[in-house]
Amino acid sequence: MSAQAQPIAEITLADLYDELQVSARRVPISGTVETTFRCNLNCVHCYVNQPVADRAARARELTTARLKALIDEIAEAGCLSLLLTGGEVLVRPDFREVYLHALFRGLRVTIFTNGTLVTDRVVDLFDEYRPASVEITLYGMTRETYEKVTRVPGSFDRCLGGIRKLVARKIPLKLKAMALTWNVDEIPLMRAFARELGLPFSHDSLLNGRVDCGANRNPELQLPPERAVALDLDDPEAMRRYRFALAGFEAGEQPEADRLYTCGAGEIAFTVDPTGQLQLCQLSRRSAFDLSTGSFARGWNEHFPALRAKTWQSSSVCRRCSLVSVCGSCAGAGELEHGDPERIVAQFCEITHLRTWAVLGEASGHRRDASCCLGAGGTASIPEDGAGCGSCGQAQAAASPLIQLQRRPLRG
């Protein structure tokens, strides 16, 4: 009689990374492909939302054949997880073909969508060929607020309809929100809505600049630091993630002082924009590698190591800050906000100090008002000379601070 087959033991993702020697071998485990910058909505805060009918934008996008070939290259390089996003990823008529190609190459595919284009046909596709997850952003929990943000009548009902279609088929789904001054009072309602549907929910309140120097530099959308952290304190899961992120700090972990980039960008993660520009992340876009003239392997193995080898050239306080690993003011954010990866994003610094104080208090070794790093509490104390767009480098007026890129919540 044959021996009974034994199940394969489960291990954590961290253990898998150790087993594969991901960091030492520089394996691109996690990737993001922005298939388009076009969107059927026109959200006031969005980092890039070009019109669906923009022919010039569509002409610049990677073709179906090149996208599929790129996915082949990514899979062969060792990628495990791939995020397909936009713009609005579902506006491309070849979405099904590209999505299935990624799945059939063995990738764990996540989809970011606004939910308004989730039709029965899309749900049928996800039901038969399941994604790792679909994530939908809520812009408000009332029609008035939602459509004030999206600026498209009828979008609220279409979004809720898409969510309910996915829930009915039990498609893995997460809801999230960009917390703005316009919708902050409805975040608790969004969280309750998600809980009612049995879905996870998260919010983010860090807004960065548009990547294309577009309009809508509306500074009134960014929550003040005190309000942003108060929202975190009302969310036990958000605080749990932040406490987890601070565990290394509490254990005495210190930043890698000489290297400019200390995150996983270009080491285990990457981003490709709709035109085929291979970037460290969705924030750092000025030193891209053109995949129309080179291979993914060359960009990953030659271009990225040179970027990652960059060292600090200034005496920025971020260089020695013990909170650098949990701060939103990273090199990518500085590059996008000011055109300089070594420049501090003052509001993000303040939010980080407030969050840390809420968890550690004086044990953090920092001041609650961030004056230990900024020199004085309040973002008004930080000069905005030379501010520029990280995408094109054109100078921006100091009176119009850059905002508008949704960032992933801290991992926990």
Question: 302-317, pLDDT tens digit by residue?
Answer: 999 999 999 999 888 8
Tell me the sheet residues that pair with 109: 82
Query: Nearest-CA neighbor of 160 among 179, 178, 147?
Result: 147
Least confident span in 126-130, 215-219, 404-408: 404-408
**In the prediction, which pLDDT does 120 show?**
98
Token pair listed for 328: 């939103």
Instruction: Give the amino acid at 38.
Output: R
**pLDDT at res. 251:** 53
List, in order of start, the domains of the chain with CATH numbers: 20-222 (3.20.20.70), 223-260+311-412 (no CATH)
What secondary structure, in 3-state letters, does 212-275 show? CCCCCCCHHHCCCHHHHHHHHHCCHHHHHHHHHHCHHHHCCCCCCCCECCCCCECCCEEEECCC
Structure tokens at 27: 């394996």
Average pLDDT rounded to a whole number, residues 148-161: 97
pLDDT at 388: 39
Integer Cα distance of 351 and 229 in angstroms? 7
Q: Which of the 8 DSSP states describes residue 185? A: G
Specify which of 152-161, 260-269, 372-381 reaches the highest per-range mean pLDDT.
Answer: 152-161
Mean pLDDT (the chain, rounded): 86
* pLDDT band at residue 16 using 50, 70 and 90 as cut-offs: confident
Task: Give the sign of the dihedral formed by CA 347, CA 334, CA 29, CA 59.
Answer: positive
pLDDT number for residue 375: 85
Q: What is the pLDDT of residue 5?
A: 66
Q: Is the pLDDT of residue 411 over 60?
A: no
Which amino acid, one-letter code, is at 195? R
pLDDT for position 401: 33
Q: Does the pLDDT value for residue 105 go beyond 90?
A: yes
Instruction: Tell me the pTM.
Output: 0.86
User: β-strand 173-178 against 133-138: which pairing, if any?
Assistant: parallel
Mean local confidence (pLDDT), 110-120: 98
Q: How remote is the C-alpha of 104 from its chain's centroid?
A: 25
Instruction: Check pLDDT > 50 for residue 409.
Output: no
**Mean pLDDT throughout 209-223?**
67
Coil, helix or strand at residue 289: strand
Give yes or no for a cis peptide into 339 (omega within 30° of 0). Answer: no
Residues sharing a CB contact under 8 Å with residue 353, sequence separation 6 or more, in sequence order: 323, 366, 367, 368, 369, 370, 372, 373
pLDDT bin (cut points 50, 70, 90) of residue 125 is very high
The predicted structure's pLDDT at residue 380: 40
Question: Which has the higher per-residue pLDDT, 18 or 363?
Answer: 363
Cβ count near 6 (within 10 Å):
6
CA dihedral over 249, 284, 81, 41, signed as positive or negative:
positive
Alpha-carbon distance of 75 to 82, in angstroms, equals: 9
**What pLDDT was estimated at residue 2?**
52
What are 277-292's pLDDT values in tens digits? 999 999 988 899 999 8
pLDDT in tens, 173-208: 999 999 999 999 999 999 999 999 999 999 999 987
Who wins on pLDDT, 81 or 337?
A: 81
The structure tokens listed for 382 are: 């930080």
pLDDT given at position 256:
54
Residue 350 near residue 225 (C-beta atoms within 8 A):
yes
- Residue 254 — pLDDT band, cuts 50, 70, 90? low
391 touches 286 (CB < 8 A):
yes
Please say whether the beta carbons of 113 and 89 come within 8 A: yes
- Mean pLDDT over 94-123 rounds to 98
Identify whether the C-beta of residue 339 lies closer than 8 Å to the C-beta of residue 386: yes
Backbone phi and psi for residue 337, each to the nearest 5 degrees, phi listed first:
-75, -45
* Structure-token pair, residue 325: 């690993």
**Alpha-carbon distance values, 403 to 206, 351, 390 (Å):** 8, 15, 12
Angle ∠(56,337,135) on CA atoms, nearest 5 = 65
Q: How confident is the model at residue 222 (pLDDT cuts 50, 70, 90)?
A: confident
Confidence of residue 150 (pLDDT cuts 50, 70, 90): very high
